[in-house]
Chain A
Amino acid sequence: MTVQLHNVSHEYNYGKVQALRGINLDIRAGQFVAIMGASGSGKSTLLHLIAGLTQPRDGDVIVLGHHLGKLSDNDLTLFRRRNIGLIFQAFNLLPTMTALENVMLPLIIDGKSKREIRARGEHLLRLVQLTDRMDHRPDELSGGQQQRVAIARALMNEAPVLLADEPTGNLDSKSGEDILYLLRELVERENRTMVMVTHDPRAAAYADRIITLSDGQISEELGIVAEVMVS
Chain B
Amino acid sequence: MSVKHALLGLLTENPKHGYDLKRDFDDRLGDIWNLNYGQIYTTLERLVRDGLVELFDEVSQEDRPDKKIYRITSSGRNELRHWLVQPLKHEPRTLRDELFLKLLFIDLTDPELILQQIREQHSVYMAHMMQLTNRKYQIDGSARRAIENTHDDTERRRIERNRLVSLVVLDAALFHAEADIRWLKHSEARIKELV
Contact = CB atoms under 8 A, between A and B. Distances in A.
Contacts of B177: 201
A210 interface: yes
B126 A181 contact: no
B7 interface: no
A220 B133 CA distance: 20
Interface in B112-137: 119-120, 123-124, 126-134, 137
B178 interface: yes
B126 A210 contact: yes
Interface in B63-112: none
B140 interface: yes
A210 B178 CA distance: 15
A210 B130 contact: yes
A222 B174 contact: no
B130 A230 contact: no
B127 A222 contact: yes
B124 A201 contact: no
Given A226-B131, A230-B120, 5 more contacts: A181-B140, A185-B141, A202-B133, A207-B130, A222-B126
Return the 3 tightest CB-CB contacts between A and B, nearest first.
Answer: A205-B133, A205-B129, A226-B127
6 contacts: A201-B126, A205-B130, A206-B137, A208-B130, A208-B134, A220-B119
Interface of B: 119-120, 123-124, 126-134, 137, 140-141, 174-175, 177-178, 181-182
Interface of A: 181, 184-185, 201-202, 204-208, 210, 220, 222, 224, 226-228, 230
